[in-house]
Amino acid sequence: MVRAFCFVFLLIITLHHATAQFELRGYANYMPSGCIMLTPNERYAEGIAYSSTTLDLNSYFEIEFDIYLGDKDELGADGITFVIQNDARGFDAFGTYGEGMGYGRFNPSFASGNYIAPSIAIEFDTYQNEIQNDPPCDHVAYLENGSSYHEQYWHNEDLSFNLEDDQMHNFRFSWNPETQEITVKLDAVVVYQGQRDLIQDIFEGQTEVIWGFTASTGNKHNLQYFCFRRIAYQEKPADENITYKANSSAK
Ligand SMILES: [Ca+2]
Ligand SMILES: [Ca+2]
């Protein structure tokens, strides 16, 4: 049993600190602080930053970063998305500006317009677009395949909920390949939890995927940026782990 416990310790999650490299597109740019600006405080801007290292969906991971969505509430827009994608355009994949937040389209039924797919995304939406079923306040929602429309959203049951408060907000996204569960936390509160077979139902069997952030502004605008904090990554359990489970149950 001692040996088994040692093996479990060897599986301790590997931490990668804030050294990730990003592919930048559009208005995205490094800031003196080391954070990455996605949009300046300007009209009709769009910026995208993808990690140059892909993720393996067979592995457990948790990604943590801080996001800044601006300091103008009524006059601010549009928000940031965290995206995981396998779009044929790779690091050049982008969506529509304005309410698309650089990820989706103005209307999911439109045949035209840029969007990122196959993909999933978490949006931090700071501007109400009724056609996307946005509530009148800022909110978080889970999106798929380049559609910005969402049936459900989280706004802390507060119709004055505001993310454009000139503060950093901590965001964590985790994926558990065993249970196929996605968990999203904003400022340590669970704001989304869902079960989805990402490999089969979204990425058509592909397990190596690109991840990063998109953002845009429209007629209204804010400075928007993110600061990468951490990836916790655990490789797929090896065969020895199965042996350990068998030993454990036989004791
Ligand atoms: Ca707001
Ligand atoms: Ca919106």
Look at residue 6 in the predicted model and tell me its pLDDT: 42
Q: Give dist(CA 135, CA 155) in Å, integer.
A: 8
Three-class SS of residue 241? helix
**Distance, CA 249 to ligand 1 centroid (Å)?**
52
**Distance, CA 214 to ligand 1 centroid (Å)?**
18
Contact, 70 vs 246, CB < 8 A?
no
- Take residue 167 and report the two structure tokens written for it: 């503060």
**Distance, CA 190 to ligand 2 centroid (Å)?**
21
Please name which ligand lies nearest the alpha carbon of 130. Answer: 2
**Distance, CA 179 to ligand 1 centroid (Å)?**
34
Count of H helices and E strands in the chain?
Answer: 2, 15
Look at residue 235 in the predicted model and tell me its pLDDT: 74
Q: Measuring CA to CA, which residue among 114, 118, 74 is closest to residue 98? A: 114
Please name which ligand lies nearest the alpha carbon of 74. Answer: 1
Q: Give dist(CA 220, CA 212) in Å, integer.
A: 24
Establish whether the linkage from the previous residue to 187 is cis, with ω within 30° of 0.
no
Pairing of strands 119-125, 60-68: unpaired
Class of domain 14-234: mainly beta
Look at residue 9 in the predicted model and tell me its pLDDT: 40
Nearby residues of 8 by Cβ (< 8 Å), 6 or more positions away = 244
pTM of the predicted protein model: 0.87
pLDDT exceeds 70 at position 51: yes
What mean pLDDT do residues 217-221 have? 98
Domain ranges of the chain: 14-234
**Distance, CA 71 to ligand 1 centroid (Å)?**
9
**Distance, CA 127 to ligand 2 centroid (Å)?**
4
Q: How do residues 87-109 score in pLDDT, each as one tens digit?
A: 999 999 999 999 999 999 988 77
Contact, 38 vs 225, CB < 8 A?
yes
Q: How do residues 170-195 score in pLDDT, each as one tens digit?
A: 999 999 999 999 999 999 999 999 99
First to last CA, the chain: 9
**Distance, CA 237 to ligand 2 centroid (Å)?**
40
**Tokens 């009209």 correspond to what residue?**
43
